[in-house]
Amino acid sequence: MKLFTRYNRVNLALTAILLVLSAAAYYLVINRILIHELDEELDDYKQKIETYANNTGGLPEKGVMEDLVVKYETGQPSVPLHYLTTREYDSDEHKMEKFRQLVYSQKAGSNLYRVTIAKPLEGFRLLAKTIVYSTLGILAIIILVSLVVNHFLLKRLWRPFYDSIHTVRNFRLHGKNPPRFPGTKIEEFDFMNQSLDSMLNNARTDYHSLKEFTENASHEIQTPLAIIRSRLDLLIQEESLSEKQGKILDSAYAAIRRISKLNQSLLLLAKIENNQFAGAEVIDVKKELDEKIGQFQELWQDNHIEITANLKPSHITANRELVDILLNNLLGNAVVHNRQDGTVTIDLAPGRLTIRNTAVAGELDKSRLFRRFYKAEQHTHHNGLGLSIVKQICEHAGIRISYHFEKGLHVFSLEWPQPTST
């Protein structure tokens, strides 16, 4: 519910209650005034009767006054003068009517009369009706006006708010440009924009220092590695090396390669998490896979692994570099964690890629599979980051990845939404 809709509801309910109350108050006040007037009129007539009785010793003819009903009764006990409202049958209009009566005792000659002067309260119904209708009318007008205001005026009033939300939504930490919030004439919006601006700029600053840190860390580790490796590269040029020394150097090379790989993988994870791989494009997955399988062919032959690829045309919108790494890791895993004379089956369909490979051991631990440094077997040459990189890339690219174990096969399934225009 929009803020104003909610405000409007409360406001309208209150307005309605107030209107009804004021209508009731009006009715009561006006009613009072009218009755007071009526009473005065009745009083006037009583004066006339009294004067007549004093002068003539009799009572005036009934019905002289237009809509006045006058009654004289004898033999009644004396009553004090009083006013009252009654309902009586109106013979002219053939229905029950409300009357205002003045009752008092009048002496005329030697007789004591009880005089009742009554006048219908005709105007009151009209009054009540008028007040009810005008109240409803005003209510309707208020609702209508508030709807119109809501539609045209408020949309404009709230525009700076929606503009700001739009800016925040489109804001990317790794984007080149700082967010821009236009100035508004509304204090609250200005305040909000200033807060958002400083928050986003702080985030940007933090992000950039984090990125710098990652790169510096990489620099710090890679440089000594580069020195060690280059030194080894020089060392092996020596003519006088023995075979034994050669073997020692070989394992030193392997260790450097592992550290270097590990460092690269950690940096890659950080970079994906930091969203540093912007720029998605539509990629022909079939073409990429064909190339990859070609590259891996030699490896497969060497391990005597049989590969079956069933590739249908398929596309994905993602970062090219990441898709490349993703396929490398998945196919690499399928080969490395395979047994001698095993199989790899790759099925590609629009929006779906399934890779099955024969397992060395049993099912992998699903809950820990994608965690960093997870190793099913203590393979010395693998750092256990491959699948967490895969997972990270999938999250980044909006791919759903799942694993299950089926008849001695590890099955990794990837699903993604097909790009609309291929």
Partner 1 sequence: MKLLVIEDERDLSESICTYLGQEQFICETAYDYDAAMEKIHLNEYACIILDIMLPKGSGIDLLANLKEEGKSEGVLIISAKNSLEDKISGLKLGADDYLAKPFHLAELGARVAAIIRRKSFDGKTRITIDNLVLDISERSLKSVAGQVISLTRKEYDLLLYFISNKNRVVTKEAIVEHLWGDDIDMADSYDFVYSHIKNLRKKLTQAGCPDYIKAVYGMGYKFVIGS
Which residues of the chain form contacts with partner 1 (CB under 8 A)? 215, 218-219, 222-223, 225-231, 233-234, 236-237, 241-243, 245-247, 249-250, 253-254, 256-257, 260-261, 264, 267, 271, 276-277, 295-296, 298-299, 301-303, 321, 324-325, 328-329, 332, 335-336, 380-382, 386
Token output for 400: 């759903």
Residue 371 contacts residue 388 (beta carbons within 8 Å): yes
Other C-beta atoms closer than 10 Å to the C-beta of 20 total 14
| Residue (102 or 376) nearer to partner 1, CB | 376
| Residue (259 or 311) nearer to partner 1, CB | 259
Length of the chain equals 422
Other C-beta atoms closer than 10 Å to the C-beta of 321 total 13
Q: How far is the CB of 421 from partner 1 (least distance, A)?
A: 26
Q: How far is the CB of 265 from partner 1 (least distance, A)?
A: 10
Pairing of strands 95-108, 82-90: antiparallel
What residues form DSSP beta bridges with 106? 113
Q: How far is the CB of 155 from partner 1 (least distance, A)?
A: 42
What residues form DSSP beta bridges with 413? 354, 402
**Amino acid letter, residue 184:** T
| Residue (154 or 267) nearer to partner 1, CB | 267
| Residue (210 or 228) nearer to partner 1, CB | 228
Q: How far is the CB of 278 from partner 1 (least distance, A)?
A: 10
DSSP 345-364: EEEEETTEEEEEEE-SSS--
Judged by DSSP in three states, 226 sits in helix
Region class of 16: left (phi > 0), else alpha (psi between -120 and 50), else beta: alpha
Q: How far is the CB of 260 from partner 1 (least distance, A)?
A: 6
How many Å apart are CA 199 and CA 205, to the nearest integer? 10
Q: How far is the CB of 143 from partner 1 (least distance, A)?
A: 58
Q: How far is the CB of 400 from partner 1 (least distance, A)?
A: 23
Other C-beta atoms closer than 10 Å to the C-beta of 121 total 19
* DSSP letter assigned to residue 58: S
Q: How far is the CB of 282 from partner 1 (least distance, A)?
A: 20
| Residue (92 or 302) nearer to partner 1, CB | 302
Nearest of 211, 212, 184, 208 to residue 196 by alpha carbon: 184
| Residue (99 or 370) nearer to partner 1, CB | 370
Asked whether the CA dihedral 72, 76, 81, 82 is positive or negative, the reply is negative
How many separate helices (H) and strands (E) can be counted in the chain?
8, 11
| Residue (196 or 280) nearer to partner 1, CB | 280
Residue 284 contacts residue 327 (beta carbons within 8 Å): no
Residue 13 contacts residue 146 (beta carbons within 8 Å): no
Q: How far is the CB of 236 from partner 1 (least distance, A)?
A: 5
Q: How far is the CB of 250 from partner 1 (least distance, A)?
A: 4
| Residue (140 or 241) nearer to partner 1, CB | 241
| Residue (157 or 249) nearer to partner 1, CB | 249
Q: What angle do CA 329, 331, 333 make, to 5 degrees?
A: 65
Nearest of 371, 360, 341, 349 to residue 405 by alpha carbon: 360
> Around 334, how many Cα atoms within 13 Å sit in the side-chain half-sphere?
31
| Residue (101 or 260) nearer to partner 1, CB | 260
Q: How far is the CB of 399 from partner 1 (least distance, A)?
A: 19
| Residue (31 or 303) nearer to partner 1, CB | 303
